Copies of this chain bind each other. A is one copy, B any other.
Amino acid sequence: VTVAVDVMGGDHAPHAILQGIVEYLEQEPNPAFLLLVGQPEVMTTALANVNPALYEIVAAPTVVEMDDHPVKALMKKPDASIPTCAKLVATGRAGGTFSAGNTGACMVAAIQIMERVPGVARPALGSFMPTITGPCLFIDAGANVDNRPSHLVDFAIMGSVYTNKVQNLEKPRVALLSNGEEDSKGDQLTKEARELLKQAPVYFSGNIEGNAVFEHEADVVVCDGFAGNLFLKGVEGMGNLGIAHLKKCIAAETNPVAKKSLEDALHGLMLQVDYAEYGGAPLLGVNGVSVIGHGRSNPRAVVVGIQVTARAAASGYVKAMQEIFATLEPNTEK
């Protein structure tokens, strides 16, 4: 498998990205071949001790900044690292791409250059959520707002195919995020989507409440991208509140044994809730693998992000998604 990595994107790019790349190539027993996309002059020092057979540098002279307007930036900088990565996937040179850069630009580049899977009206962002027994896939994490019910059905199918192919779940349980489990609960969008989901080619388990997501009652949780973004950021904020509290306790603890015990507890909590352990969000519904990392990605997040991208590329989920949407009526609601 070949993975195109955007070296220039992210709050701590290029240093954190390059450090993650080096760690990935050093640690991984059977690493993917990497296309390192960006300004070659920023890469040389960091890569000095890496086996040159493991990667190739692809020059991309310009950079989409984190706060650039996605569409405008892509028009002005067609040779930037983000669109170059998308082109490497679209032309088949790479099996997938990972970027911790401008999320909007990554999505627009993937949609414009890899194009939508025929039949999908709106590609959506999947995001992995911590639960008591491992991650579940949350979709849409914020690619879209003002969705129509049929869009949520597409999200359900995309999430189902992804978890089936990439996570090897035979029958991924798909649930619809709502304000109650009963059929009568939900806003208009959710109620209409629920009726459509009962007919969709997924294992639909009904509504799920926000707190039940953490009990791992579903493998895929479907939601409009606006409410989904609020939900995920709220969860992230609460996770950070818990982490900050434990750090304060550690700082105030004088007994070394107790301090160590608190540090272990913090480490365990961070393994569960830290975005870095989930390695980024796949953009689903485009003809290629595009995994988008958190802007704050540290080297660890980059390592996991490249692993996730390589696994997704090897799984063949894009082909499976194209096949299932080819059997359905195309979604004409924009």
Which residues in A have some Cβ–Cβ distance to B below 8 Å?
Answer: 130-132, 142, 145-146, 177-179, 186-188, 190, 209-215, 223-227, 229-242, 244-246, 249, 253, 255, 257-262, 264-265, 268-269, 272-273
Contacts and interface: CB of A to CB of B under 8 A. Distances in A.
A314 B235 CA distance: 35
Nearest to A130: B241
Given A132-B244, A211-B236, A231-B234, 7 more contacts: A145-B188, A210-B231, A210-B232, A210-B233, A210-B235, A211-B234, A249-B261
Contacts of A223: 230
A28 B42 CA distance: 66
18 contacts: A131-B241, A145-B188, A179-B225, A210-B229, A211-B240, A213-B234, A214-B237, A214-B238, A223-B230, A227-B231, A235-B237, A238-B273, A242-B273, A249-B265, A257-B258, A258-B262, A259-B261, A262-B262
For A210, A241, A259, which residue has the most chain B Cβ atoms within 10 angstroms?
A241
B233 A235 contact: no
Contacts of A237: 210-215, 235
B190 A210 contact: no
Contacts of A178: 230
The 9 closest A-B pairs by CB, nearest first: A210-B233, A211-B237, A258-B261, A214-B237, A242-B242, A179-B229, A210-B234, A145-B187, A227-B227
A237 B268 CA distance: 17
A142 B179 contact: yes
A246 B262 CA distance: 9
Contact of A226 (B187, B234, B235, B258): B187
A229 to B, nearest CB: 4
A209 B233 contact: yes
B264 A226 contact: no
A334 to B, nearest CB: 14
Contact of A242 (B188, B227, B260, B269): B269
Given A210-B237, A262-B261, A187 B146 contact: yes
Given A145-B186, A188-B146, A265 B262 contact: yes
A234 B186 CA distance: 16
Given A179-B226, A190-B226, A249 B264 contact: yes
A240 B246 CA distance: 15
A325 to B, nearest CB: 25
Nearest to A215: B237
Contacts of A261: 249, 253, 255, 258-259, 261-262
A291 B180 CA distance: 21
A239 B240 contact: no
Contacts of A145: 179, 186-188
